[in-house]
Structure 1
Amino acid sequence: MSQPLVTAFYDPATFTVSYVVRDPSGDACAIIDPVLDYEPKAAHIAHHSADAICSHVTREGLRVEWILETHAHADHLSAAQYLRQHLGGKVAIGEHIRDVQKSFGPLFDLGDTFATDGSQFDRLFADNDSFRIGTLDGRVLHTPGHTPACVTYLIGDAAFVGDTVFMPDYGTARADFPGGDARTLYRSIRRIYDLPPTTRLFMCHDYPPHGRKPMWETTVAAERSGNVMLRDGIAEDDYVKARRARDRTLPAPQLILPSLQVNIRAGHLPEPAANGRRYLRIPLNQLPCREHG
């Protein structure tokens, strides 16, 4: 099985890990889950994280074929369009992004002009769709539960799992977002666990417990034997009970409102208003208010 070359970029502000995945036999690469820097107190956008990826791609002489989103993130804004403008490549996500657009478009009152057919993206992947990065074979696994649109990208011996499962000492993703479901998430994670034990798993986030340094790479075998929420031997009903109990304590992500209205647009910012300024919409009293978790 081919072994892609993987370079990680960790964003401590959002605990997000973005990746450049390279064909070892050529210059083709893909970018996965890129971050657009956003400072919420001043509503200020910057490109430090994306520029680090640009610098790496340019320095290594790489050719970007894909910019892949594992789902519509609720914790960071996507830099997909910024990177597409500077580096090229097709922006892709799972086809169930349409469900997420239909769910969140009304929340932000985006109106009839907002397309809910996924057309903001260059490619919508169905379950088991294949793609290529140079000579590397890629396959898409639909792994919902955290959101309806979550996918895992299996590229050679590496799987980019998005927000399904985290490092073994942290557990799994939450399942209480609109369209999320703990039972569905259990089955999606078990699908990932059915991959060969040596498959490298790359996380989209790491929230380091016990003061350890951030980590983002593990294996199927390590997850199956040691994940604190879902390891071998934990029954579906027991996982669902524990996941739902945990989710009831969790506050909404800090950037959920700004990030979702950008990410369901494939990373496009809202169009400027008549005064030339761009605006994000903040609907009041629409999300659960949990101050501790």
Structure 2
Amino acid sequence: MEPTIHTVFESVTGTWQYIVADPRTKETAIIDTVLDYNKDMGVISTASADKLLDVVTDNDYTVSYILETHAHADHLTASRYLQKMLSQRQNERRPLICIGEHIAQVQETLGQIYDISESELYGAFDYTFSDGETFRLGNIQAQVVHLPGHTPDHIGYIIGSNIFTGDSIFNPDVGSARCDFPGGSATALYNSAGRLLSFPSHFRLYTGHDYPPKDRGVRGPEQSGAIPYTTVEQQSKENKHVKSGTQEDEFVKMRSERDSTLSEPKLLRPSMHVNLRGGRLPACSTKGFKLEQIPASIVGAE
């Protein structure tokens, strides 16, 4: 049985957000959400997350899970805001915020770098998945696959013949994600991509981001050419970094050289402060993360 999938592109950070539902029971998961943040002004807003709520409402969905593929370094998650709003709408049926079990490693390493206390990280997520673990989305069985490399905690979600890959593989003309964050590994990413390309050729790989090359063309004013998925077959034949036949040493050399030229993501520090906390905001502004305006609807999103 295949799920119904809604794709919602957030163009500022190039992030794909997904709403995945069992069409019979309407039980739903939301994957890799975005909380809007203006770094210069220190303003948090919820326009992107509210679009997700509109889709849920319009389709009469019941959201059981808010899923993260990893602790994102380039955008803030809207998980706690969505959990609060959905709990109110669903008669206190509270969606679980979930991530891979190796988030503990990332929290320990980056919590020290960004001076986040252990007490603020304890219990940050409602549940953490292990590799191969399954869960149900209505009548559909979903499975977790560990896909380290971009980050050590990275996982994907197999739902029907669809895999929500996060940043473990990008669209063929974009290639692959950087591996230079603490705990990242080009070798591990190569192996994770190989794991994805071993699935049946018709499986769809839904990516966490898209940064459309200028020559791709426009596919709608809102998406500006962004594509949510390609198939395993397409990736195996066309991925410019890691298609079938690409050798490990070739990929590791390319990725290492490329990563050495990349600058720090613009929202790295704010993203870490929120995402390591499981979507909670710090109590006040901190170094590199100005907080001047926060919507009342986010306050108390615990």
Alpha-carbon distance in structure 1 between the residues aligned to 2:176 and 2:5: 22
Counterpart pick for 2:264 among 252, 256, 280 = 252
Q: Specify the SS of the correspondent of 1:196.
A: coil
Alpha-carbon distance in structure 2 between the residues aligned to 1:114 and 1:91: 16
Tell me which residue corresponds to 2:21. Answer: 22
Report how far residue 81 of structure 1 moved.
0.4
Q: Would you say the 8 A contact 1:7–1:20 is kept in 2? A: yes
Tell me which residue corresponds to 1:151. Answer: 155
Q: Specify the SS of the correspondent of 2:131.
A: coil
Counterparts of 1:237-276 in structure 2 under 5 Å?
237-271=249-283
Structure 2 letter corresponding to 1:262: V
Counterpart pick for 2:113 among 107, 110, 134 = 107
Alpha-carbon distance in structure 2 between the residues aligned to 1:246 and 1:144: 19
Q: Would you say the 8 A contact 1:258–1:281 is kept in 2? A: no
Relative contact order, higher structure (CA 8 A, sep 6+):
2
Tell me which residue corresponds to 2:135. Answer: 131
Counterparts of 1:66-105 in structure 2 under 5 Å?
66-87=65-86, 88-105=94-111
Structure 1 runs of 4+ aligned residues shifted over 3 Å read none
Alpha-carbon distance in structure 2 between the residues aligned to 1:220 and 1:280: 42
Q: Specify the SS of the correspondent of 1:260.
A: helix
Aligned length: 274
Alpha-carbon distance in structure 2 between the residues aligned to 1:57 and 1:254: 30
Structure 2 letter corresponding to 1:145: G
- CA-to-aligned-CA distance 1:198-248 (integer Å, 9 cap, x gap): 111101100000243111211111000000001011111111111111111
Question: After the TM superposition, which of the residue ranges 233-242 and 209-218 deviates more from structure 2?
Answer: 209-218
Structure 2 letter corresponding to 1:81: R
Q: CA RMSD for the aligned pairs?
A: 1.2
Report how far residue 90 of structure 1 moved.
0.4
How has the CA–CA distance of structure 1 residues 196 and 147 changed in structure 2, closer, same or farther, with 3 Å as cutoff?
A: same
Counterparts of 1:1-293 in structure 2 under 5 Å?
2-87=1-86, 88-115=94-121, 119-211=123-215, 212=217, 213-271=225-283, 278-282=284-288
- CA-to-aligned-CA distance 1:104-150 (integer Å, 9 cap, x gap): 1111212343335xx21111000001011111110000000000000
Structure 1 letter corresponding to 2:53: C
Q: Specify the SS of the correspondent of 1:192.
A: helix
Alpha-carbon distance in structure 1 between the residues aligned to 2:249 and 2:85: 47
How has the CA–CA distance of structure 1 residues 190 and 44 changed in structure 2, closer, same or farther, with 3 Å as cutoff?
A: same
Q: Would you say the 8 A contact 1:28–1:65 is kept in 2? A: yes
Report how far residue 178 of structure 1 moved.
0.5
Report how far residue 4 of structure 1 moved.
1.1
Q: Specify the SS of the correspondent of 1:45.
A: strand
Q: Specify the SS of the correspondent of 2:71.
A: coil
- CA-to-aligned-CA distance 1:126-184 (integer Å, 9 cap, x gap): 00010111111100000000000000100111100001111101101111110000001
Q: Specify the SS of the correspondent of 1:77.
A: coil
Q: Would you say the 8 A contact 1:153–1:159 is kept in 2? A: yes
Report how far residue 24 of structure 1 moved.
1.8
Structure 1 letter corresponding to 2:124: Q
- CA-to-aligned-CA distance 1:25-56 (integer Å, 9 cap, x gap): 22111000010000111011000000000111
Q: Specify the SS of the correspondent of 2:113.
A: coil
TM-score calculated relative to the size of structure 1: 0.91
Q: Which runs of 5+ in 2 are unaligned?
A: 87-93, 218-224, 290-302
TM-score calculated relative to the size of structure 2: 0.89
Q: Would you say the 8 A contact 1:105–1:114 is kept in 2? A: no
Q: Would you say the 8 A contact 2:26–2:138 is kept in 1? A: yes
Q: Would you say the 8 A contact 1:143–1:152 is kept in 2? A: yes
Q: Specify the SS of the correspondent of 2:244.
A: coil
Q: Would you say the 8 A contact 1:92–1:122 is kept in 2? A: yes
